Structures are given as structure tokens and as C-alpha cells.
Structure 1
Amino acid sequence: MLAGELSAEVSTLADDPNTVCIISEWASPDAPKAFFARPDLEETMRKDGVIGKPTMLIMSKK
């Protein structure tokens, strides 16, 4: 939340529980970009069991 994330919802695919989808609301479109650009994030995610690079889509509600 210190990075500007306001809320998050975590789900897995019904037929593949190893695929995780996280829908987050951020304070601004630049906030998640800055978060995912952190130099320590890749190592932290690897330690937490993340396999592969996540796909990030930035969308807006209209």
C-alpha cells in the first residue's frame, strides 16, 4: 500500500490453480509502473515462488 496500491483481489484459474490473477486499484497509472520497476522486486518474487515474468495490464474504469 505504500507504493500507491489502494486495494487488491487475488484469484486463481479454476482449471489451473498455479495461475494467479491479481486485480489491483492504484492511486495513479504511474504507481504500479514504479512498483514493478523496483530493483529488488524480481528477487523477492522468486523467493515467494513466482515462476516467470508477470503480465501487467493498466486499465481504467469508465
Structure 2
Amino acid sequence: MPSHAQLAAKLLRDAATFFRNVGAQNPAIADDMNENSAVYEQVADLIEADPLGELPIDELD
């Protein structure tokens, strides 16, 4: 049974795939969709590596 963190990471990766697919089908927004995809992948990596980790507040600005 997956943990909440594992499920969250999977959902984020699935969303990243969705954004990449939307971008592939819509060249006008491909750059934005690929950027979104990269962010979701990065957050999934963070969750997998350190599920209880915290971001310094200045990184949120």
C-alpha cells in the first residue's frame, strides 16, 4: 500500500505528463505547459526525497 507521499508524488508526475501532452498538442502554449510540467516533476522529486521537508519562506516568493 503506498504512503500518502508516494501517492502525492505519483499524482504530481501524472499531472506533469498531462501538461506535457497538452503542450505537445498546442504549440502556442507548449513552453508554458513544459514549464508547468517541470515544476510538478521537481515537487514530486522533493516529496519522494524528503516527504516532511520544508522550503525556506523566501523560496515561495
Q: Give the structure-1-normalised TM-score.
A: 0.29
Compare the two structures and name the one with the higher helix fraction.
2
Q: Give the structure-2-normalised TM-score.
A: 0.29
Compare the two structures and name the one with the higher strand fraction.
1
Relative CO higher for 1 or 2, CA cutoff 8 Å, sep ≥ 6? 2
Larger Rg: 2
